[in-house]
């Protein structure tokens, strides 16, 4: 326990250092910028709402990538599955617009989850049956999803009364409720946090979680138990896609209300560092999602006063990733040395 607290503190200090250095290198006044970022992310009710809203897709996509990664699958297609989730939800609304709000909401979220899962099943199947690397097929499918979104918002799902390529806006009662009128903090955040915790608990405590870890680290064990590792890996990919689809559905029904070409803000990609920094078993994934959510909210605020914007967070995430990679490589090299001597 003490070690974990130490680890979190160390990560926090390193993250703060990297943020400060990045701001300095970008030529921004460091102390002032950090103050602006804190104002924008943690200083008020509005700021907290902003942070938690950014955290929501990050946590879900992070959990999704972790689920696949533990089984040895690198799901770069989170972005595409997020978008497919949104499209599936909007399709339900397009087909059944007259349903009562709450029923519609439940159907939309279900469709999003199924849509994301189906879109992840395809690369999983390609891997299991045809040996196609998941990394390549999911990259390709991201492009397919982006173009499908463009097509849908321009043609089938387009709101005819609107000259812009957008789908019809959901009615208020079919959207995820907000807590009050002052901020747009919504109940979807609670769904995301609960789902993320549940995912981590399943991965760490359940039989399937153990099997998926074995599939990623030592498939021989599974073969010895007469369990097919590829089957477990396929299940992990589908679960991963379902989580991304849920993230897309929540984004659609809580904040966006309609789909446009810019529906996804790279959440699927940004979930990759969130997952990695959350630890191999996901114990810190919520903290990591929260930290990056706060950074996004903070830099959003920062961009009102300076030229620096959310692109700074990409740099911070990347440097943090390199630090963690170097750190863990050092750890495994030390372990290898110990084993050989």
Question: What x/- string results for residues 193 through 232 when contact with another protein is judged by CB under 8 A?
Answer: ----------------------------------------
Considering the complex, state which of residue 103 and residue 136 has its C-beta at the smaller distance from another protein: 136
Tokens (6 digits) for 167? 């789908």
Q: Is 332 in the site for another protein (CB under 8 A)?
A: yes
Count of residues binding another protein (CB under 8 A)? 54
The torsion angles phi and psi of 186, rounded to 5 degrees, stand at: -125, 165
Q: Is 176 in the site for another protein (CB under 8 A)?
A: no
Tokens 């196609």 correspond to 132
Considering the complex, state which of residue 101 and residue 260 has its C-beta at the smaller distance from another protein: 260
Considering the complex, state which of residue 99 and residue 144 has its C-beta at the smaller distance from another protein: 144
> Which residues touch 58 (CB under 8 Å, ≥6 apart)?
267, 270, 271, 274, 289, 292, 293, 296
Q: Is 333 in the site for another protein (CB under 8 A)?
A: yes
> Which residues touch 82 (CB under 8 Å, ≥6 apart)?
57, 61, 116, 244, 245, 247, 248, 251, 264, 267, 268
* Among the listed residues 290, 226, 298, 262, the one whose alpha carbon sits nearest the alpha carbon of residue 33: 298
Q: Is 151 in the site for another protein (CB under 8 A)?
A: yes
Out of 137, 167, 189, 300, the residue judged to bind another protein by CB under 8 A: 137
| Interatomic CA distance for residues 318 and 313, integer angstroms | 8
Report 255-274 residues binding another protein (CB under 8 A).
266, 269, 272-273
Out of 46, 107, 139, 280, the residue judged to bind another protein by CB under 8 A: 139
Contact segment (CB under 8 A) with another protein among 41-49, 89-97, 174-182, 320-328 equals 320-328
Cα distances from 211 to residues 61, 131, 282, 324, in angstroms, run: 22, 21, 16, 26
Sequence-separated contacts (24+) of 309-315 with Cβ below 8 Å: 312/22, 312/23, 312/26, 315/22, 315/26
Q: Is 276 in the site for another protein (CB under 8 A)?
A: yes
Q: Is 325 in the site for another protein (CB under 8 A)?
A: yes
Report 49-78 residues binding another protein (CB under 8 A).
74, 76
Out of 143, 182, 260, 334, the residue judged to bind another protein by CB under 8 A: 143
Q: Is 150 in the site for another protein (CB under 8 A)?
A: yes
| Interatomic CA distance for residues 271 and 278, integer angstroms | 10
Q: Is 8 in the site for another protein (CB under 8 A)?
A: no
For residue 167, list its beta bridge partners: 158
Out of 142, 195, 196, 300, the residue judged to bind another protein by CB under 8 A: 142
Question: C-beta of 284: minimal distance to another protein in Å?
Answer: 17
Q: Which residues bind another protein (CB under 8 A)?
A: 26-27, 74, 76, 79, 126, 129-133, 135-137, 139-144, 146-148, 150-151, 154-155, 266, 269, 272-273, 276, 307-309, 311-319, 321-322, 325-326, 328-330, 332-333, 336
């Amino acid at each position: 326990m003490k070690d974990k607290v130490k680890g979190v503190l160390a990560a926090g200090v390193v993250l703060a250092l990297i943020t400060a250095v990045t701001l300095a290198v970008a030529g921004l006044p460091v102390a002032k910028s950090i103050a602006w970022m804190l104002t924008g992310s943690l200083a008020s009710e509005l700021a907290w709402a902003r942070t938690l809203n950014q955290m929501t897709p990050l946590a879900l996509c992070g959990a999704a990538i972790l689920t696949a990664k533990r089984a040895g699958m690198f799901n770069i297609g989170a972005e595409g599955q997020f978008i497919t989730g949104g499209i599936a939800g909007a399709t339900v609304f397009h087909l059944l617009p007259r349903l009562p709000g709450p029923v519609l909401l439940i159907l939309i979220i279900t469709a999003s989850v199924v849509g994301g899962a189906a879109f992840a099943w395809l690369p999983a199947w390609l891997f299991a049956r045809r040996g196609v690397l998941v990394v390549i097929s999911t990259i390709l499918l991201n492009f397919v999803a982006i173009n499908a979104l463009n097509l849908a918002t321009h043609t089938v799902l387009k709101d005819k009364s609107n000259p812009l390529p957008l789908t019809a806006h959901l009615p208020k009662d079919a959207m995820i409720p907000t807590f009050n009128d002052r901020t747009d903090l919504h109940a979807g955040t609670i769904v995301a946090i609960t789902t993320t915790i549940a995912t981590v608990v399943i991965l760490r405590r359940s039989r399937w979680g153990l099997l998926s870890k074995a599939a990623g680290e030592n498939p021989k064990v599974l073969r010895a138990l007469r369990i097919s590792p590829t089957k477990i890996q396929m299940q992990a990919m589908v679960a991963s896609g379902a989580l991304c689809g849920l993230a897309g559905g929540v984004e659609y029904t809580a904040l966006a209300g309609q789909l446009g070409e810019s529906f996804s803000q790279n959440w699927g990609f940004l979930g990759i560092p969130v997952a990695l920094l959350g630890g191999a078993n996901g114990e810190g994934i919520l903290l990591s999602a929260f930290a990056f959510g706060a950074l996004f909210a903070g830099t959003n605020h920062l961009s009102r006063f300076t030229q620096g914007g959310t692109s700074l967070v990409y740099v911070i995430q990347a440097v943090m990733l390199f630090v963690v990679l170097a750190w863990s490589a050092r750890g495994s090299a030390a372990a290898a040395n110990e084993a050989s001597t």
